Structure 1
Amino acid sequence: MRAVVSVSCNFLFVLLDVTLTTILYIDGTQVRRFLQELNNFDIFTSTIDVWLICLIRACVLLGASTGVARNSTDGPRRVKKLNTAVSVLCMVMVVYAVAKLLLFSEVAVLLGAPWFLSLFAWSCISSLATLGFWKLLCLVKTKRELLVINEEKTKEEEGDDESEASGASIEESNKKENRGSSKATISRLLSYTKEDAGVLGVAFVFLILAALGECFIPYYTGLAVDGIVIQKSMVVFTKALLLMLLLAISSSFAAGIRGGMFNLTFARLNQEIGFFDSNHTGDITSRLTSDTTLVSDLVSQNVNICLRCLVKGVGVCIFMFSLSWKLSLVTFMGFPLVMIVSELYGKYYKRLAREVQDALAKANNIAEETISAMKTVRSFANEDNEVEVYWEKLQHMYKLNKKQALAYACYMWSISVALQVSVLFYGGHLVISDQMTSGNLISFIIYELELGDCMENIGSVYTGLMQGVGAAEKVFEFINRKPLMTREGTMAPDTFKGHVEFKNVSFAFPTRPNSQVLKNVTFALRPGEVTALVGPSGSGKSSCVYLMEHFYAAQSGELLLDGIPIEQYDHNYLHSKVALVGQEPVLFARSIQENIAYGVHEVTMDSVVQAAKAANAHGFITELQSGYNTDAGERGAQLSGGQKQRVAIARALVRNPHLLLMDEATSALDTESEHTVHQALEGAMHNRTILVIAHRLSTIEKAHNIIVLDKGKVSEQGNHKELMAKGGLYFKMVQRQMLGVDPPEEYDSHQKCQTVPNESRQ
C-alpha cells in the first residue's frame, strides 16, 4: 500500500514540476522562446538550461518510480543504493540555479521580471522536493523485507509466553529493545537539563547580547576603513573606532557571564547480579567515566557553542546580505553540498565514535583484569604477554583515532577553503566593477571568516554530538535495560525464624540459560540446626546459596523463608537477617574494624571485638601494628587467606544473622583454627539456621542433616551415620577422602557402619 502511495505521489509531482516550470519558462504564452534560445543560447540571457534541468529531475524521479512500481522486489533496494548520488545531483541543481541568478545579475535584463524570479525560486524548491520524494521511495519495503518482518512478528508472538518463564528470553528482549526503540537521541539527552532551565535561560540572554555585539564589530570595521580610504575623515574613523571598542568590551563581558553559566551547568551534570555476570567490570567503568563525561559535554559545552554559533550566524548572515546579496549568494550556494558532506561525515564519524568507545572499554577491561590479578600474572611470568595484549588494544584504538582525525580534516577543508576562495574571487570582481566599496568588502570578508568560524564550531559540535550520541547509546543500553529481578518486595516481619524450604527448585544462570544447574531440588533448613551441603564440584551447592541470598531467581519451583516466597521480602530486611561467608571473601581497602562492621549501622567496638573473638580473629588482629585500625589493603591483599576468611566470618557474625551461609568459609584455615571457629558457631547456634558447604567432610560429621547433591539433584540426605549406612555417594566420597581409595564393590553395609566412621574420625 505504501509503495502505491509513494509512486502515485511521485508521478503527480513530476507532472506538476514539468508543467509549472514550462509555464514559467515561456512566461505563459511565449512558446517561440524554445527555438530562439536553442538557436542563440547565451548563458547570461537564456533560461532554457533551467528548463532542461527540470527534465533531468523529471526523468530521474519518473524512472525510479517506474522501477519500484514494476519491480517491488529489487526496485526499492536499487533506489536506496543511489540515494547519495541523487542527493548530490539535487544539490548541484540548487547551486546551478543560484549561479544562474548571479550571472543574470551581471546583465540585469531579466532580473526584475517576475516570471524569471519565480522560475529561479521554483527550480530551487523543486530540486529539494525531488530529493524528498526520492527518499520517500527509499522507505518502501521490498517483498523480502516484508516477509522477514512478518516472520519476526510471528516469532515474537510465539515467544511471548516463553519469555515469561525464561530470564534469558527477557534478557534477549532487553537487547532487542536497546538496539531498536531505545536509540539515543539528542532530545533525550537535552531533557536531562530541565532542572537547570533557569540557569540556562540567563545564560541564553547573555549569549544573545554577546553574539549581537560581535556581529556589529566587523560592520564598524568596514566603516572605519571607508572613513580613511574613501571619506578621508578622522572624525568618521574615530567614531567608528570608539563604537568598535565599546561593542568589544560589552560583548566580552556578556560572553564571560554566558560561559560561567554554562560551566555551572556542566559542573552540576557531571542492576541485579546476573547483569554483572554478563558485563565486564572494565566495560561498566568505561560507561560510568568516559561515556558519561562525553554525554555531559554534549548537554553543556556543546549546547553552549551551538547556541552561540547559531545566534551569531543569523546576525552575520543579516549583515552579509545588507552589504552584498550577490556575494552572500556565492557564500551560501556551497551550503547544499556542505550539507551532503556533513551527512556522510556524520554517519561515518558516528560509527567511528562507537568503535572507539568499544575499543576503549575493551582496553580498560584488560587493564582492570590484569591489575586486579597481578599476583596470578606474576606467578605465571606472563607480564609481557599482558602488556602485548593491552598494547594491541591501544593500537586498535589509535588507528581508529587516526581515521577520526583524517575524516575531520577533510570535512573542515571542504567547508572552509572552498568557500573562502570563491568569496575572495567574486568579491574582487564586485569591487573592481564598483558594485561595492573596499570597506564593505573587508567587512564582508570578516563576516565570512566569522561565519566560517561558526560553521567550524558547529562542525565540532556536530562531532561532539556524534560522539555523545554514540556514547549515550551505550549508556542508555544500561539505563533502558529491564532488570530480570526487581527489589519490589516489602515484607519485613517483626520475627524471623530462618526456616528455609526449597520446593522443586530448578535454576540456570542467565548467561547459560540452557544449562540447568539445579533440577527439581527439594530440601529444608531448620532453625537451631546445622545443615551441610556436599557433593562433587559443579553439583549446584553454591547455586543454592546464591538463591538464598536472592542474587538470582529460580526458573521454577519455590524458595520459602518462614513460609513466605523470598522475592516478597524487602531487600534491606532480607540481608540484615541472612549473612554469607564465601570461600574467597572480598575485603575492602579500609581498616579491619570497618571491614567487620561493613553494612551494619551504629555498631559498637565491643560488638566488633566479640565477633572477631567468635571467628578466632581477635588474636592475630591485636598482633598487627595498628590492631583493628590496620588497613586490609586492596581486596584484603595485606592479609593471608586464612586471616581474610576469619575477618569475613566476623563480618557475618557481627550482624547477628538468623540464617548463616558458610560456603567453604573455613577452607583456608588450619585444623586448630577451624575447630575453634566451629566451636564458636556451635555456641551461637541457638535459634540460628546454619548452612555449611564443605569439601573437607570431617568438618560436617556432626551436622544435623547432610544433603548430598549430584548433577543438580538431591542424591541423598540424612545424618552422617545414616548416609554411611546407605553406602551411596556420600560413603564413596568419605572413603576417597579418608582412605584415598574407592571402596570395593563387595563392601557390605555392616562393614560400612563399623569401619568407616572410625576411619573418618582419625
Structure 2
Amino acid sequence: MRVCVAVGCNLAFICVDIVVTTVLYIQGSSLEAFEDDIEGFNVRRSLLDLWGMVLLRACLLLGATVGVLWNRREGPRRVGRLRTLATLSSLLVLTYALVKLLVLSEEGGLAYQARFLGLFGWTCGAAVATALLWMMLARARAGQAAGEEENEGLLEVDGEGEGEEEGEKNTTGGKGEKGQPNSGATVGRLLSYCKQDSGLLATAFFFLLLSAVCESFIPYYTGKAIDGIVIHKSMEYFTKPMIVLSVLALVSSVAMGFRGGVFTLLFARLSIRLRNLLFRSLMRQEIGFFDANHTGDITSRLTSDTTQVSDLISLNINLFLRSFIKGAGYFIFMFGMSWKLSLVIIMGFPYIGLISQLYGKHYKKLTKEVQTSLAKANRVAEETISAMRTVRSFACEQREADGYHRQLTDVFRLNKKQALAYACFMWSSCISELALQVAILYYGGHLVVTGQITGGTLISFIIYELELGECLESIASVYTGLMQGVGAAEKVFEYIDRKPKHASEGQEAPDTLRGLVEFHDVTFSYPTRPDTDVLKNVSFSIYPGEVTALVGPSGSGKSSCVCLLENFYSPQQGQVLLDGRPVQSYQHDYLHTKVALVSQEPVLFARSVEQNIAYGLTDTPTETIIAAATKANAHEFISGLSKGYDTGVGEKGAQLSGGQKQRVAIARALIRKPRVLVLDEATSALDAESEHVVQQALNGAMENHSVLVIAHRLSTVERADRIVVLERGSVAEQGRHAELLARRGLYYRLVQRQAMGLEGGATDNVPRPPGAPPPVSLEEEEEWSEEEGGKDEHGAKY
C-alpha cells in the first residue's frame, strides 16, 4: 500500500512539475520565442536552462519510480542506497538556480520580472520536493516488507535498519522507523533531565546570548573603522567604532566565562542524575538479567558511557548553541550588507550539511562498535582481576595478558577507521571552506569595482564569512561529537528503560508468619536456557520447627529450589508458597527479612565486620550484632582481629579465611531472626569442631522455624526431620534417614559414595540393611554423577 501511494505521488508530481514549469516559462511569450531561445541560447538573457531543469528532475523521479514498480521487493532498497546521489542532484539544481539569479541581476530588469521570479521559485521548490519524494520511495518498503515477512515467515531488515540484537534489552524512547533510536529524541531526553536546573539553564542561555550578540557586532564595527580611515580619513570616524569594539570585546569575554562555568556545572549535575537513574534501574532488574549480561558490560555502561555522555553532550551542546546563535547573527549582518554575496554563502550550506550528515552517520556506527569492543576488553580485565588467585595458581598470567591485548587490538583497529573517517571529513570540509572564500573574494571584488559595495563592507563581509566558517566547522564537529555522545546515551537508556521481566515487589506483609513452605508441582528452567527444565513437577513441604534436607547429585536442582524460594526467578509451572501465599505476592523487603540465606560461597562486602553482619538493617544495636556473631561461633575470632568488629574484611572478604567468612554470613542471617532459614552448604568450609559448635547454635535457633538444608555431609543430613532426594530435577524419594537407607534407592547410593570417599573405599561404617546390594565402586559413582549432574553456563550447580 505504501509503495502504491509513493509511486502515485511521484507520477503526479512529475506531471505537475512539467506543466507548471512550462506554463511559467512560456508566460507572456509565443512558441516562436521558444524556438529562438533554442537557436540562440544565451545564459545571460534566456530562461531555457531553467526550463531544462524539469527534464533532469523528471528523469530522476521517473527512473526511481519505474525501478520500484519493476521490483517492489528490492526496488525501494536500491532507491534508498542512491538517496545521497539524488540529494546531490537536487542541490546542483538549486545551486544553478541561485547562480542564474546572480547572473541575471547583473544584466538588469530580467531578474526582477514576475516570469523569472515565478520560474526561479518553482525550480527551487521542485528541487527540494524531488529529494523528499525520492526519500518517500526509499521508505515505501517498510509497510510492504512487514506483510511479505508475515506471509513468507522471513525476517529481513532494511539497509539502514540493520543492527545486532543485544540480548533482551529494551531500547530507548523516541524511535524512528525500523526501531532505530532517534538521535534528536535522545538529545531531547537528555536535556529534559535538566528541567530541575531551569534557573541555571536560563542563566547559561542569557550569558550565551549576550556573548554571541556582542561577537556578532565586532566585524561590523571593524568595517566601520576601516571605512573611517580609507574613505572618510577622519580620526573621529575611526575612534567611535574602536570604542564600541573595545566595549563589545570586554562584555563578550566576561559573558563567555560565565557561560562556560554555568554549563559545566549544569552538565555535571546531569551526569550525577544519569548514574543514579542507571544504578537504580540495575537494582530493579531480575537475577536473570545479570545471568545474561556480563559484569564488565554493565559496569562499562555505569562508568565510561555515562562519563562520555555528560562530557560530550555538555561540551557539544554548549558549542553548538554558541555557534548557532553567532552564525545566525552573522548571517543577518551579511544579508544586510550584500544579499548577492549572501547567496554565495547559501549555496555552500547544503553541501557542508550533506557532508556532515554522511560523516556523522558513519561515525555514529563506528562509535557504537568502539564502545562494544571496549566493553569486551573491560569484561576480560574484570574477570581476570577478580579471579587473580585462580589465574596465578594455573600460571595463566601471560595468556590472560595476551587475550586482553587481542581485545585492545580490535579496539585500535576501529580507532584507525575513526581516524580515517575524520581525516576524510576534515579534507572535504577544508576544501568546501576554501571554495567559498575564493568565490566570495572574487565576486566581492567585482561588486566593489562596479561600485555596488564599499571596500570596508567587503572586508567586514569577509571577516563575517571567516567567522561563519568557524561556526559551520564547529557545528559540523559538534554533530560528530553529539552522535558519539548519543551513541553512548542510547546504550545507557537501554538499561534505564528496561523493565524487569520478573517483578520482585508484591503487596503482602502479614504481621505474623509461621514459615510453612510448599512446592506444588514446580517446573522451572533458567531464562538463559529456556528449553532445559531444571525442575520437573517438584512437590514437597517444609514445616515450622523442622529441618528439611535437600540431597542429590550435582545438577539435580537443589540450588534451583533455593533460588525459587528466594524469588530470584519465577517457575514456568506450579507455585512456591509461603504460608499459603505465592512468594511473588510478598513485599520484597518483607520476604527477604523473613527468609534468610547462607550460601555455599558467601559474599562479603569491602566494609567492616559489623557492617557486613548488619547488612541491610538500620540502627542495629552493637549488642544484637555480638549476640548473632556468638550464635554463629564468630565472636571469638572477630574479637581477636586488629580492630574487632570495626576491622575491614577486604574485597569480597579476602582478609578472612573461608571458615571465618562463612561464620560471618551465618551471623548475618541469624541477626534477622528469620522464620525460614536456608543453609546452602553453610558449614562446608568449617572444621569439625567449628561445625559442631555452629550446628549446636543453629539447632537452638531452629525452634519454631522452617529450615531448609542443602548438604552432602552425612552428619548434617542424618539429623534432618525430612530428607528430599532430587534426581534429574524430580523428587525421587522423601523420608527420614533410616527410612531412605532401608529403601536402598538413590539416597542409599549417595551415602555409600560419601563413605567410600571418607574411608578410602571402605564402607564398613555405612549402615547396610539386610539384603542390600553391594556398594558401588567410586569410579562407577563418579561416572554416574557426571552423566546425571550439570552446571549452568556460569559454572554454578543448579
Asked whether the equivalents of residues 725 and 753 of structure 1 are also in contact (C-alpha less than 8 Å), the reply is no
Match among 527, 544, 569 for residue 561 of structure 2: 544
Asked whether the equivalents of residues 73 and 142 of structure 1 are also in contact (C-alpha less than 8 Å), the reply is no
Asked whether the equivalents of residues 327 and 468 of structure 2 are also in contact (C-alpha less than 8 Å), the reply is yes
Q: 2:206 and 2:462 mapped to 1: Cα distance?
A: 28
Q: 2:492 and 2:111 mapped to 1: Cα distance?
A: 56
How is 1:692-703 mapped onto 2 (pairs within 5 angstroms)? 692-703=709-720
Q: Which amino acid in structure 1 is aligned with residue 699 of structure 2? A: E
Q: 1:52 and 1:545 mapped to 2: Cα distance?
A: 79
Where 1:111 maps in the other structure, the secondary structure is: helix
Measured at CA, do residues 452 and 176 of structure 1 come closer, stay the same or move farther in structure 2, by a change above 3 Å?
Answer: closer
Aligned to 1:555: 572
Shift of 1:418: 3.4
Match among 313, 316, 326 for residue 340 of structure 2: 326
Per-residue Cα deviation, 1:411-430 (whole angstroms, up to 9, x for no partner): 24323343333333433443
Per-residue Cα deviation, 1:320-356 (whole angstroms, up to 9, x for no partner): 1122222221122022222222221121111111111
Per-residue Cα deviation, 1:642-673 (whole angstroms, up to 9, x for no partner): 11111111111122212111111111111111
Measured at CA, do residues 187 and 65 of structure 1 come closer, stay the same or move farther in structure 2, by a change above 3 Å?
Answer: same
Asked whether the equivalents of residues 736 and 742 of structure 1 are also in contact (C-alpha less than 8 Å), the reply is no
Measured at CA, do residues 39 and 368 of structure 1 come closer, stay the same or move farther in structure 2, by a change above 3 Å?
Answer: same
Matched, 1:527 2:559: no
Measured at CA, do residues 554 and 18 of structure 1 come closer, stay the same or move farther in structure 2, by a change above 3 Å?
Answer: same
Matched, 1:212 2:229: no
TM-score norm. by structure 1 comes to 0.92
Q: Which amino acid in structure 2 is aligned with residue 619 of structure 1? A: E
Aligned to 1:48: 48
Query: Is 519-528 or 290-299 further displaced after alignment?
Result: 290-299
Aligned to 1:378: 392
Asked whether the equivalents of residues 505 and 522 of structure 1 are also in contact (C-alpha less than 8 Å), the reply is yes
Asked whether the equivalents of residues 518 and 539 of structure 2 are also in contact (C-alpha less than 8 Å), the reply is yes
Per-residue Cα deviation, 1:354-384 (whole angstroms, up to 9, x for no partner): 1111112112111111111111111111112
Query: Is 470-479 or 414-423 further displaced after alignment?
Result: 414-423
Measured at CA, do residues 641 and 417 of structure 1 come closer, stay the same or move farther in structure 2, by a change above 3 Å?
Answer: farther
Aligned to 1:133: 133
How is 1:150-161 mapped onto 2 (pairs within 5 angstroms)? 150-151=150-151
Aligned to 1:596: 613
Shift of 1:573: 0.8
Where 2:370 maps in the other structure, the secondary structure is: helix
Match among 494, 501, 504 for residue 487 of structure 1: 504
Shift of 1:620: 2.0
Per-residue Cα deviation, 1:571-591 (whole angstroms, up to 9, x for no partner): 011111111111111111111
Match among 398, 420, 424 for residue 412 of structure 2: 398
Aligned to 2:436: 419
Asked whether the equivalents of residues 2 and 144 of structure 2 are also in contact (C-alpha less than 8 Å), the reply is no
How is 1:432-511 mapped onto 2 (pairs within 5 angstroms)? 432-511=449-528
Aligned to 1:629: 646
Per-residue Cα deviation, 1:224-273 (whole angstroms, up to 9, x for no partner): 11111222111111110000111112222333333333223212212111
Asked whether the equivalents of residues 608 and 647 of structure 2 are also in contact (C-alpha less than 8 Å), the reply is yes
Gaps of at least 5 residues in structure 2 are 156-166, 272-284, 777-798
Shift of 1:526: 1.0
Where 1:489 maps in the other structure, the secondary structure is: coil
Matched, 1:734 2:751: yes
Where 2:770 maps in the other structure, the secondary structure is: helix
Where 1:642 maps in the other structure, the secondary structure is: helix
Q: Which amino acid in structure 1 is aligned with residue 711 of structure 2? A: A
Aligned to 1:431: 448
Gaps of at least 5 residues in structure 1 are 156-170, 757-762
Measured at CA, do residues 464 and 550 of structure 1 come closer, stay the same or move farther in structure 2, by a change above 3 Å?
Answer: same
Measured at CA, do residues 177 and 94 of structure 1 come closer, stay the same or move farther in structure 2, by a change above 3 Å?
Answer: closer
Per-residue Cα deviation, 1:671-703 (whole angstroms, up to 9, x for no partner): 111111111111111112211111222322111
Matched, 1:106 2:120: no
Q: Which amino acid in structure 2 is aligned with residue 534 of structure 1? A: V
Per-residue Cα deviation, 1:211-236 (whole angstroms, up to 9, x for no partner): 11110001001111111122211111
Q: 2:134 and 2:545 mapped to 1: Cα distance?
A: 78
Aligned to 2:794: none
Q: Which amino acid in structure 1 is aligned with residue 215 of structure 2? A: E
Aligned to 2:770: 750
Aligned to 1:191: 192
Matched, 1:360 2:380: no
Asked whether the equivalents of residues 274 and 509 of structure 1 are also in contact (C-alpha less than 8 Å), the reply is yes
TM-score norm. by structure 2 comes to 0.88
How is 1:273-288 mapped onto 2 (pairs within 5 angstroms)? 273-288=287-302
Q: 2:235 and 2:769 mapped to 1: Cα distance?
A: 123
Q: 1:583 and 1:376 mapped to 2: Cα distance?
A: 18
Where 1:110 maps in the other structure, the secondary structure is: helix
Shift of 1:401: 2.5
Aligned to 2:232: 231
Asked whether the equivalents of residues 518 and 540 of structure 1 are also in contact (C-alpha less than 8 Å), the reply is yes
**Superposed structure 1 runs of 4+ greater than 6 Å apart:** 152-155, 175-179, 753-756
Where 1:560 maps in the other structure, the secondary structure is: strand
Aligned to 2:702: 685
Measured at CA, do residues 552 and 63 of structure 1 come closer, stay the same or move farther in structure 2, by a change above 3 Å?
Answer: same
Measured at CA, do residues 593 and 342 of structure 1 come closer, stay the same or move farther in structure 2, by a change above 3 Å?
Answer: same
Q: Which amino acid in structure 2 is aligned with residue 239 of structure 1? A: K
Measured at CA, do residues 281 and 151 of structure 1 come closer, stay the same or move farther in structure 2, by a change above 3 Å?
Answer: farther
Q: Which amino acid in structure 1 is aligned with residue 56 of structure 2? A: I
Measured at CA, do residues 595 and 30 of structure 1 come closer, stay the same or move farther in structure 2, by a change above 3 Å?
Answer: same
Aligned pair count? 740
Q: Which amino acid in structure 2 is aligned with residue 750 of structure 1? A: P
Aligned to 2:35: 35
Q: 2:455 and 2:714 mapped to 1: Cα distance?
A: 99
Q: 2:529 and 2:406 mapped to 1: Cα distance?
A: 30
Per-residue Cα deviation, 1:399-419 (whole angstroms, up to 9, x for no partner): 323322332333243233433
Query: Is 608-617 or 372-381 further displaced after alignment?
Result: 608-617
Q: Which amino acid in structure 2 is aligned with residue 68 of structure 1? A: V
Per-residue Cα deviation, 1:476-522 (whole angstroms, up to 9, x for no partner): 22123221111331111111121100000111111111111111100
Q: 2:736 and 2:451 mapped to 1: Cα distance?
A: 111
Asked whether the equivalents of residues 755 and 763 of structure 2 are also in contact (C-alpha less than 8 Å), the reply is no
Per-residue Cα deviation, 1:700-730 (whole angstroms, up to 9, x for no partner): 2111111111110111011110111010011
Q: 1:308 and 1:676 mapped to 2: Cα distance?
A: 72
Q: 1:732 and 1:122 mapped to 2: Cα distance?
A: 92
Shift of 1:750: 1.9
Asked whether the equivalents of residues 7 and 137 of structure 1 are also in contact (C-alpha less than 8 Å), the reply is yes
Where 1:536 maps in the other structure, the secondary structure is: coil
The percentage of counterpart residues that share the same residue type is: 57
Q: Which amino acid in structure 2 is aligned with residue 410 of structure 1? A: C
Aligned to 1:93: 93
Shift of 1:638: 1.1
Match among 351, 363, 377 for residue 365 of structure 2: 351
Aligned to 2:123: 123
Q: 1:142 and 1:246 mapped to 2: Cα distance?
A: 58
Q: Which amino acid in structure 1 is aligned with residue 633 of structure 2? A: N
Match among 611, 614, 625 for residue 608 of structure 1: 625
Q: 1:652 and 1:73 mapped to 2: Cα distance?
A: 63
Asked whether the equivalents of residues 53 and 93 of structure 2 are also in contact (C-alpha less than 8 Å), the reply is yes
Q: 1:447 and 1:748 mapped to 2: Cα distance?
A: 101
Q: Which amino acid in structure 2 is aligned with residue 82 of structure 1? A: L
Measured at CA, do residues 417 and 664 of structure 1 come closer, stay the same or move farther in structure 2, by a change above 3 Å?
Answer: farther
Q: 1:660 and 1:143 mapped to 2: Cα distance?
A: 57
Shift of 1:9: 1.9
Asked whether the equivalents of residues 732 and 742 of structure 1 are also in contact (C-alpha less than 8 Å), the reply is no
Query: Is 248-257 or 91-100 further displaced after alignment?
Result: 248-257
